[in-house]
Amino acid sequence: MDKSLKILLLSSLLLSLFSPSIAQTCGTYQFSSNKQFATCTDLPYLTSFLHWTYHPSNGTVDLAYRHAGVDTSAWVAWALNLDNARMVGSQTLVALHNTTGAAHAYTSDVSSYSTTLAQSSLSFNVPSLSAEYVNNVMIIYATLVLPSGRTSFNQVWQNGLVSGGSPQAHSLTGDNLRSTGTVDFATGQTSSTGGGGSLQRRRNVHGVLNAVSWGTLMPIGAIIARYLKVFKSADPAWFYLHVTCQSSAYIVGVAGWATGLKLGSDSSGIEHTTHRNIGITLFCLGTLQVFALLLRPKKDHKFRLYWNIYHWTVGYVAIILSIVNVFEGLDILSPSKNWKRAYIGVIIFLGSNAVMLEAYTWYIVLKRKKTGSDKYPNGANGHTHSTWPQQTV
């Protein structure tokens, strides 16, 4: 085969492979209506694009918002927020398929997080508004009269499902929480605020505090109490290590719990019921453990057995709920997969060590039982300890 023909075939193959991705950029897209815009930008989330032409003479802007990869059961929206970067207060352009199956666009003033995106007027004039659906791409065309002579605004864009002809709530995880930014129609400058805004930073801090405290330190404290006490040389050091680890977990965990309460108060209308309820339960169980430590009977007291059972039960329930809630939080934050993989690695590491220590502990216990040396003196607080691997403090 001629060399030039091979090159031509290879070029055609590469073009066919990469042409879809090339089409999904603002600079190469051709509108079916042959409309032209002076400026465009690839929005960083939700496969969205913004095209516009600013007219300084009359303070208007002609724009097209494109949202790719949506089907006929979805709604899309793009908005300007004149006051802040949040959803509430957004002056929104919405597009969906109406009951006749045609693409339909309208305006909606979002006044709360529980909005249903009902049609309403905006705080500024929109002389022209229409929608077009082409090849799984919804496009909103609009002309805006920019308010107060401004050209720089916060922008928000979203998508969700339509049910019964009405827009339903959008996803509260991942890119749907990051799709905010700024746009200056005069200079063409845009920026993304969704990845590093104050609210997102607080979510990240909340997640890290709780993953370290409830999800890591608390299981480590339980491992210390259950397995180190069987070694005579570790007594009473295991007791103080256990108390230190669990106290640190509780203090850091309360800080994480408090940031969660603050996040809830700052996110009216957004609810993560399961995550919240488990978090409240963990705080109550952790507080009970702290008070139980203050009321701990002496080792020879007749109620000490019941206290041990209570302490063991509450502790392990708290650990199980902690791990479950860390994964609940990861699903809500939807960070990169490496974060979830890292925590899974921590859990596997702690679990595998617990299994090995469990086997070795029983080996030691049975060996001492066989030789008749199943008790040894000078335990924590000067009392005799059994070598059987039960978690008592």
Does 311 belong to an annotated binding site? yes
Between the CA of residue 19 and those of 35, 65, 67, 70, what are the distances in Å?
Answer: 21, 21, 18, 19
- What is the spatial distance between Cα 321 and Cα 314, in angstroms, rounded to a whole number? 11
- What is the spatial distance between Cα 10 and Cα 194, in angstroms, rounded to a whole number? 40
Q: Which residues contact 387 (CB under 8 A, 6 or more apart)?
A: 230, 364, 365, 368, 369, 374, 375, 376
- What is the spatial distance between Cα 286 and Cα 253, in angstroms, rounded to a whole number? 9
- What is the spatial distance between Cα 236 and Cα 215, in angstroms, rounded to a whole number? 25
Dihedral through CA 382, CA 384, CA 386, CA 389, nearest 10?
A: -10
Does 383 belong to an annotated binding site? no
Among 105, 185, 110, 199, residue whose Cα is nearest residue 153: 185
Distance of CA 6 to the CA centre of its chain: 49
Does 97 belong to an annotated binding site? no
- What is the spatial distance between Cα 29 and Cα 23, in angstroms, rounded to a whole number? 6
Between the CA of residue 59 and those of 62, 93, 343, what are the distances in Å?
Answer: 10, 19, 52
Beta strands in the chain (DSSP E): 39-42, 48-55, 60-68, 74-81, 90-97, 103-109, 128-134, 137-145, 152-163, 166-167, 180-184, 190-192, 375-376, 385-386
104: its two tokens: 């339909």
Which letter does DSSP use for residue 296 in this model?
P
Cis ω before 236 (30° cut-off from 0): yes
- What is the spatial distance between Cα 41 and Cα 249, in angstroms, rounded to a whole number? 46
Please report, in range form, the residues annotated as the binding site: 206, 242, 275, 311
Please report, in range form, the residues annotated as the binding site for heme b: 206, 242, 275, 311
